[in-house]
Amino acid sequence: MWIKSLLKMTCLTLAFFATAAYAKSFEPATLQQAYEQLHEAVCVLTFTQEATDPRSGEQERQDGTAVALVVSPEGLLMSNGHLQLENIRSFNFRVRINRGDEQLEFPAVMLDKPEDVNLSFLRIQSDEPLNLPFVRFARGSALRLGEPVALVGIMGEAMGFHRSVRVDRITAILDTPRTTDCLTEGLRLGFVTSPVLNTRGEVVGVAGFELDPDEGGGMFARAGHPLVFQTEMFIHHVDRPPDESPVASPAEEAWLGVFTQPLKKEYAEYWGIAEPGGLIVSTVMPDSPAARAGLVPGDIIRSVDGAPVRALLDREVYAFTKMIRESKPQTITKLGILREGAEILLQATLGQRPRSARDAEEVTDETLGLVVREITRDVRILLNLGEEVEGVIVRRIISGSPAHVAGMRPGIIIMGLGDQPVIGLDDFETAVARLQESRPTEVSVFARVGAQTGFFRLMPRW
Amino acid sequence: MLASRIVSFLRQWRPAAWTFYLTISLVTFGGCATLGSDTQSSVLAAKNRVAPAMVHIRPVKEVFIAGQRREIPTIGSGFIISRDGYMVTNEHVAGDSSVVWCVLSDNTEIEARVVGADPDTDIAVLKVETDALLPHVTFGRSDTLESGQMVMALGSPHGLARSVSLGIISVPDRYLGDIGVMAAPYNNWIQTDAAINPGNSGGPLINLRGEVVGVNSRVLSGAENVGFAIPIDIAREAIEAIIEEGRVRRSWLGLQFQEMAARTDDPSARGVVIADVSPLSPAQEAGVRPGDLLLQINEKVVDARFEEDLPYVRKAVADLPIGETVALHLMRGGEPVEVTLQTEEKVATKGGQVEFSAWGFTAAEMTPELARRAQMTERTGVLVSGSMPGGIAAQAGLDQGDIILKMDDMPMHTLAEFSHAYQQRVESQQRLVMLFVRRGAVTRFVLLDTKTPDTDTLEKETLDYVD
């Protein structure tokens, strides 16, 4: 009997302590308050998405739902970055906002996607000025390991998209490439882009996922695990929404034309350099400003315009890339180079950054079923194409088209169409125009697939 | 079906009834078989002619996986072709093997020497030294085969020696195109529904006269009763060349062909389409261009309307005498063009491999073909074929597909040169070794720190996917 009651006591005590620990983390009152404060700013975004299969070029449409946060009273919305990917186009946005007992619905438009964080911004379209309840983000509030956090999201359609709260914890904090707070696994879709609150009730960020490198994420993207995007990572976009900010057009970006790696300790030791840190030039792109300046692989960049460069980590390479990119083309840059033990100074005139595949021009020919793009510098590097390879690259094949039937695939480089050589998009268009006049029953396409060239025979239905 | 029903009966019944049902079944069989009694006896006779010459082959193959050289025992089939002990099997069975054990039909186990192997036809010739006169097969012809004709496959499916299966020829000349590497550039295949399984490789496909008409080599995985054998006519040429010279020598011009149907459906079109011209090849130097139509090689007219005609064209080039002048009659934009050029000897696609165990990786010789596939303008460097997980090379970031161009700032042109430089550094215990490496269009520096604390790395078992 005595033992039994002792056990009972212990259980009760444990239960008490457990409750105490929980209460210490998040009082129900705090959660209720968070809900009250935020549920009107957490809204349901519906949209239509068109995804292109990068291999077949096949396009598929589906309707989707996501969490959107109202981040300004005038109707700036923030949602997840997966709405806009290289092969995914979302449109037909509508946002549903709870206002007391009332439900408001507005159309919305997508703004330019920020490059530095995987979030999307949208703007509500309304004829009348809006004054919506919105999420106020707290700055400079670092989360600690193990610290409990609360999320305000939406439940599924079966639950009428009712707003709900969830308590999670910071399970890990990664230091590189930037401070990354991890949540527990299994974040439901209704909590992606939900506000993250600390125990003091401050909104310190939003929950989200980074992009996989396949989806266009950076080399060090922490894809696949739910994270907290802290306020500092996106607040500048809230303050200056993307379409209003003066976006540097790609044409204004500069490039040097090198690949570099950091001069780590052992590398410095190998080359007998007393002080590690710097950028080892590993590749010099042909016909680039770097090549013209006389840079060769093995050179070590130790200073740029007099400022010392002491990169030791891979991510510090990106800082250099960013600095070059943000310079103006035609800027004359003085590079302090360590070459075979001697210090030399080279002068490079930065060039205009070549257009990337993202901004590449595209031409569609419905009859043959080809969507082609110019071969941009990044694609050339990616596919390891020599400078002598000229043509246009197949971006997409229209399903069931003559090109599809002939077995053509995205990624193939078209070098000839009919009797016409194809060097660029103009030639492609000219060749297509000629074919439209002569309407041959079969069209021969000279193309390059990987390292090999060959022919495809297309039978267009004019 | 009937037989299996009887068998299941037999198991249930007492011995007296056993005999009774056995008699019944024999009678039934006899009755049913009148139509095909000739067939049954032909099948038995054919099997009896070939079975004594069958060989169960157990090679120990050298493989390079995950940055390590391993030797793994495998199993295949083969057959004796001469009384003094020449045997035939597949190159993929006996090639790259350190030792080949053979079990003959009388259960003698004997070691064979690899006389030579030809990856382009997947043929290997073995030789055993014995005083006994061995039973051997006779060759038939494969150019007269037609679909529907009955054939048998003999061999060791899944290691089950002395297995015989019966079927018909489904298609006598099936074209199998590129599957990553070109599987069989010089031949079409005999497709059969006679059961062929892994382990049948290298065994004979025979007709009902007991003559070898093919060498069983491949199956279509995921399909049933879709097996492929190399036609004996093409195998025979390779076998003879290997016995004579230890290898098959072929000519090379640097041309890749496509069938006429790739350009036009016009049945009157003649010739073969030149799809690609390899850089630094005799054809490129002679000014042959992709898109040219090849009509004639010296006096020989070539024509390939469909892809199954391509192996004959490739073979016509390969059969040209090496180092001799050859005239190509081309058609370019409707105008006849003639070029003369000199043939070169074709070199193997696959280069030799070496394990650099102290640094935990394996590398292969950079052959011209590999250089072409890597889109390199010159042939130099060695190709990393694998790096051992947790090894020095892997930790430094060296990976399969990297091309090592320099070691300690010295250009590395061949695998031998690299091996030599490696030996020197291992002997002198040089701690830091700098490699200059190319991957795709980008080069980088890779520093090997050979004294990293965890040098005795885990022995990771990675053999499970090798068959």
- Average pLDDT, rounded, for chain A: 86
Buried b or exposed e, range A310-342, using 16+ CB within 10 angstroms: ebeeeebbeebbeebbebeeeeebebbbbeeee
pLDDT tens-place string over residues B394-427: 989 999 989 999 999 999 999 999 999 999 999 9
CB of B442 within 8 Å of a chain A CB? The answer is yes
Asked if B232 and B281 sit in the same domain, the reply is no
CA of A370 to nearest chain B CA: how many angstroms apart? 18
| Burial class of residue B270 (count of CB atoms within 10 Å of its CB; 0-12, 13-18, 19+) | middle
**In chain A, whose CA is at the least distance from the CA of B276?**
A453
Query: Cα(B156)–Cα(B74) distance, rounded to whole angstroms?
Result: 12
A337 neighbors A314 (Cβ within 8 angstroms): no
What's residue A377's pLDDT?
84
Q: Which of A247, A263, A280 is the last residue of a domain?
A: A247
- Residue B183 one-letter amino acid: A
pLDDT tens-place string over residues B195-244: 999 999 999 999 999 999 999 999 888 888 999 999 999 999 999 999 99
Query: Cα(B435)–Cα(B397) distance, rounded to whole angstroms?
Result: 11
| Burial class of residue B11 (count of CB atoms within 10 Å of its CB; 0-12, 13-18, 19+) | exposed
Any idea what the Cα angle at residue A414 is, between residues A411 and A419, rounded to 5°?
A: 165
Q: Which of A352, A375, A395 is the last residue of a domain?
A: A352
Residue B301 is assigned to a structural domain of this protein: yes
**A444/B372 touch (CB, cutoff 8 Å), yes or no:** no
Residue B340 is assigned to a structural domain of this protein: yes
Q: In which band, very low, low, confident or very high, does the pLDDT at A181 lie, cut at 50, 70 and 90?
A: very high
Interface test with A, best of B294, B332, B392, B447 (most A CBs within 10 A): B447
CA of B396 to nearest chain A CA: how many angstroms apart? 11
Asked if A414 and A311 sit in the same domain, the reply is no
Of B264, B372, B449, the CB nearest to A457: B264
Q: Measure the CA dihedral A55/A57/A60/A65, to 10°.
A: 70
Active-site residue identified among B163, B165, B201, B217: B201
What's residue B464's pLDDT?
37
| Percent of chain A scoring above 70 in pLDDT | 91
CATH code, B180 = 2.40.10.120
Query: Cα(A73)–Cα(A132) distance, rounded to whole angstroms?
Result: 4
Residue A7 is assigned to a structural domain of this protein: no
Residue B10 is assigned to a structural domain of this protein: yes
What's residue A315's pLDDT?
72
Q: Which two tokens stand for residue B16?
A: 């007296």
B201 neighbors B159 (Cβ within 8 angstroms): no
Q: Which residues of B touch A297 (CB under 8 A)?
A: 436, 443, 445
- A379 vs B15, residue with greater confidence: A379
Q: Is the pLDDT of residue B309 over 50?
A: yes
Instruction: Average the pLDDT over A48-64 and give the result.
Output: 76
Per-residue DSSP letter, A184: -
A120 neighbors A255 (Cβ within 8 angstroms): no
Beta bridge partners, B342, equal B325
Asked if B113 and B40 sit in the same domain, the reply is yes
Asked if A289 and A405 sit in the same domain, the reply is no
What's residue A157's pLDDT?
86
Query: Cα(B186)–Cα(B234) distance, rounded to whole angstroms?
Result: 8
CATH code, A442 = 2.30.42.10
A43 neighbors A97 (Cβ within 8 angstroms): yes
Q: Which two tokens stand for residue B63?
A: 């493989």
Asked if A269 and A228 sit in the same domain, the reply is no
A15: left (phi over 0), alpha (psi -120 to 50) or beta: alpha
Q: Which of B311, B345, B379 is the last residue of a domain?
A: B345
Q: Is the pLDDT of residue B182 over 70?
A: no
What's residue A141's pLDDT?
81
Residue B464 is assigned to a structural domain of this protein: no
**3-state class of A251 per DSSP?**
helix
Query: Cα(B224)–Cα(B193) distance, rounded to whole angstroms?
Result: 8
Tell me: cis bond preceding B336? Omega within 30 of 0 counts.
no
What's residue B444's pLDDT?
93
Query: Mean pLDDT lowest for which of A133-137, A243-247, B141-145?
Result: A243-247
What's residue B270's pLDDT?
92
Query: Cα(B266)–Cα(A143) distance, rounded to whole angstroms?
Result: 73
Query: Cα(A181)–Cα(A230) distance, rounded to whole angstroms?
Result: 8
For A410-445, the DSSP string reads TTPEEEEETTEE--SHHHHHHHHHHHHHH--S-EEE
Contacts of A342 (CB under 8 A, 6+ apart): none
Asked if B52 and B183 sit in the same domain, the reply is yes
Q: Is the pLDDT of residue B318 over 50?
A: yes
Beta-carbon neighbour count of residue A436 at 10 Å?
Answer: 12
Q: Which of B280, B312, B345 is the last residue of a domain?
A: B345
Query: Cα(A338)–Cα(A299) distance, rounded to whole angstroms?
Result: 6
What's residue B178's pLDDT?
63
Q: Which two tokens stand for residue A257?
A: 């034309």
Asked if B223 and B78 sit in the same domain, the reply is yes
pLDDT tens-place string over residues A249-299: 555 788 899 999 999 999 999 999 999 999 999 999 888 999 999 999 999
**3-state class of A53 per DSSP?**
coil
Interface test with B, best of A260, A387, A420, A453 (most B CBs within 10 A): A453
Instruction: Average the pLDDT over A407-430 and give the result.
Output: 93
- Residue A222 one-letter amino acid: R
Instruction: Average the pLDDT over B444-455 and give the result.
Output: 77
**3-state class of A23 per DSSP?**
helix
What's residue B423's pLDDT?
95
Number of domains in chain A: 3
- A59 vs B26, residue with greater confidence: A59
CATH code, A43 = 2.40.10.120
Query: Cα(A260)–Cα(A265) distance, rounded to whole angstroms?
Result: 16
Contacts of B444 (CB under 8 A, 6+ apart): A259, A261, A282, A283, B436, B437
Q: Measure the CA dihedral A177/A178/A182/A188, to 10°.
A: -90
Asked if B1 and B57 sit in the same domain, the reply is no
Is B281 tagged catalytic?
no
Residue B456 is assigned to a structural domain of this protein: no
Query: Cα(B174)–Cα(B197) distance, rounded to whole angstroms?
Result: 19
Of B256, B291, B436, the CB nearest to A446: B291
Is B92 tagged catalytic?
yes
Q: Is the pLDDT of residue A415 over 90?
A: yes
Per-residue DSSP letter, A346: E
Select from B437, B463, B461 the least CA-distant residue to B448: B437
Asked if B291 and B358 sit in the same domain, the reply is no
Q: Which of A202, A217, A247 is the last residue of a domain?
A: A247
Asked if B61 and B161 sit in the same domain, the reply is yes
Residue A313 is assigned to a structural domain of this protein: yes
Asked if A219 and A93 sit in the same domain, the reply is yes
Asked if B193 and B257 sit in the same domain, the reply is no
Q: Which residues of B touch A259 (CB under 8 A)?
A: 442-444
Q: In which band, very low, low, confident or very high, does the pLDDT at A244 lie, cut at 50, 70 and 90?
A: low
Residue B210 is assigned to a structural domain of this protein: yes
Contacts of A349 (CB under 8 A, 6+ apart): A289, A292, A293, A330, A331, A332, A333
Residue B467 is assigned to a structural domain of this protein: no
Q: Is the pLDDT of residue A116 over 80?
A: yes
Q: Is the pLDDT of residue A42 over 80?
A: yes
**In chain A, whose CA is at the least distance from the CA of B261?**
A457
pLDDT tens-place string over residues A373-410: 999 888 888 788 877 889 999 988 888 999 999 999 88
CA atoms within 13 A on the CB side of A68: 32
Instruction: Give the H or E element holding residue A121.
Output: strand A119-124
Q: Is the pLDDT of residue B450 over 60?
A: yes
Select from A228, A226, A184, A188 the least CA-distant residue to A204: A228
Q: Which residues of B touch A298 (CB under 8 A)?
A: 409, 436, 445
Query: Mean pLDDT lowest for which of A21-25, A362-366, B46-50, B78-82?
Result: A21-25
Select from A83, A393, A91, A339 the least CA-distant residue to A211: A83
Asked if B46 and B150 sit in the same domain, the reply is yes
Asked if A268 and A177 sit in the same domain, the reply is no
Query: Cα(B159)–Cα(A307) distance, rounded to whole angstroms?
Result: 70
Select from B286, B290, B293, B292 the least CA-distant residue to B327: B286
- Angle subtended by helix axes B2-12 and B15-32, to nearest 10: 170
- Average pLDDT, rounded, for chain B: 87
Residue B183 is assigned to a structural domain of this protein: yes
Instruction: Average the pLDDT over A71-82 and give the result.
Output: 93
A202 neighbors A141 (Cβ within 8 angstroms): yes
Asked if A404 and A449 sit in the same domain, the reply is yes
Asked if B339 and B363 sit in the same domain, the reply is no
Q: Is the pLDDT of residue A423 over 70?
A: yes
**In chain A, whose CA is at the least distance from the CA of B257?**
A454
Asked if B181 and B319 sit in the same domain, the reply is no
3-state secondary structure labels for all residues of chain B? CHHHHHHHHHHHCCHHHHHHHHHHHHHHHHHHCCCCHHHHHHHHHHHHHHHHHEEEEEEEEEEEECCEEEEEECCEEEEECCCCCEEEEEHHHHCCEEEEEEEECCCCEEEEEEEEEECCCCEEEEECCCCCCCCCCEECCCCCCCCCCEEEEEECHHHCCCEEEEEEEEEEEECCCEECEECCCCCCEEEECCCCCCCCCCCEEEECCCEEEEEEEEECCCCCCCEEEEEHHHHHHHHHHHHHHCCCCCEECCEEEECHHHCCCCCCCCCEEEEEECCCCHHHHCCCCCCCEEEEECCEECCCCCHHHHHHHHHHHHCCCCCCEEEEEEEECCEEEEEEEECEECCCCCCCEEEECCCCEEEEECCHHHHHHCCCCCCCCEEEEEECCCCHHHHHCCCCCCEEEEECCEECCCHHHHHHHHHHHHHCCCCEEEEEEEECCEEEEEEEECCCCCCCCCCCCCHHHCC
Instruction: Give the H or E element holding residue A13.
Output: helix A2-25
A vs B, Cβ pairs < 8 A, gives 83
Buried b or exposed e, range B219-258, using 16+ CB within 10 angstroms: beeeeeebbbbbbbbbbbbbbebbeeeeebebbbbbbbbb
Instruction: Give the H or E element holding residue A234.
Output: helix A231-239
Select from A231, A116, A228 the least CA-distant residue to A172: A228
Active-site residue identified among B56, B77, B92, B251: B92
**In chain A, whose CA is at the least distance from the CA of B432?**
A270
- B11 vs A322, residue with greater confidence: A322
Domain that holds residue B243: 36-249
Maximum Cα–Cα distance for chain B, whole Å? 88
**A259/B290 touch (CB, cutoff 8 Å), yes or no:** no
Query: Cα(A299)–Cα(A314) distance, rounded to whole angstroms?
Result: 17
What's residue A15's pLDDT?
42
What's residue A429's pLDDT?
95
Domain that holds residue A228: 26-247
Q: Which residues of A touch B333 (CB under 8 A)?
A: 419
- Residue A419 one-letter amino acid: D
Query: Cα(B199)–Cα(A344) distance, rounded to whole angstroms?
Result: 65
Active-site residue identified among B96, B118, B120, B122: B122
Asked if B332 and B382 sit in the same domain, the reply is no
Asked if A259 and A158 sit in the same domain, the reply is no
Which of A96-110, A352-366, B80-94 is predicted most confidently?
B80-94
B88 neighbors B218 (Cβ within 8 angstroms): no
Number of domains in chain B: 4
Per-residue DSSP letter, A305: T
